[in-house]
Copies of this chain bind each other. A is one copy, B any other.
Amino acid sequence: MEKIKQLQQDFATFMAETDFNGQPAELYEPISYTILQSGKRLRPMLCLLANEMFGGNTEEALWPALALETFHNFTLIHDDIMDQASLRRGKPTVYQKWNPNIAILSGDAMLAMAFQFALKAKNGTQVAQLLGKVAREVCEGQQLDLNYETQKTVGIDDYLEMIRLKTAVLLATALQMGATVAGANDIDIQHLYDFGIAMGMSFQLQDDILDLYSDVEVFGKRHGGDIADNKKTYLYLKALELASEKDRKRLEYLFSLRMDHDEEEKIEEVKALYDRLNVKEMVEKVIGEYEQIAIKHLDAINLPKERKIHISTYAELLSGRKK
Contact = CB atoms under 8 A, between A and B. Distances in A.
Contacts of A124: 125
A140 interface: yes
Main secondary structure of the interface of A (DSSP, over half): helix
Of the four ranges (under 10, 10 to 19, 20 to 34, 35 or more), the interface on chain A belongs to: 35 or more
A277 interface: no
A142 interface: yes
Nearest to A139: B109
Given A128-B115, A128-B119, A128-B128, A105 B139 contact: yes
A185 interface: no
Contacts of A111: 108, 111-112
Interface in A4-38: 22-24, 26-27
Interface string A126-153: 0011011101100110111011000000
B116 A115 contact: no
Given A27-B143, A78-B105, A112 B136 contact: yes
A116 B144 CA distance: 22
Interface string A220-242: 00000000000000000000000
Contacts of A112: 111, 131-132, 135-136, 139
B119 A136 contact: no
A84 to B, nearest CB: 10
A76 interface: no
Given A22-B140, A144-B24, A109 B125 contact: no
Nearest to A133: B116
Contacts of A26: 143, 146-147
Given A82-B101, A104-B81, A146-B105, A113 B136 contact: yes
Given A78-B108, A102-B143, A115-B128, 9 more contacts: A22-B140, A27-B140, A82-B104, A105-B139, A105-B142, A106-B139, A109-B140, A112-B139, A119-B125
13 contacts: A24-B143, A26-B143, A27-B139, A81-B101, A82-B101, A82-B105, A102-B146, A105-B142, A105-B143, A108-B135, A112-B132, A115-B132, A116-B132
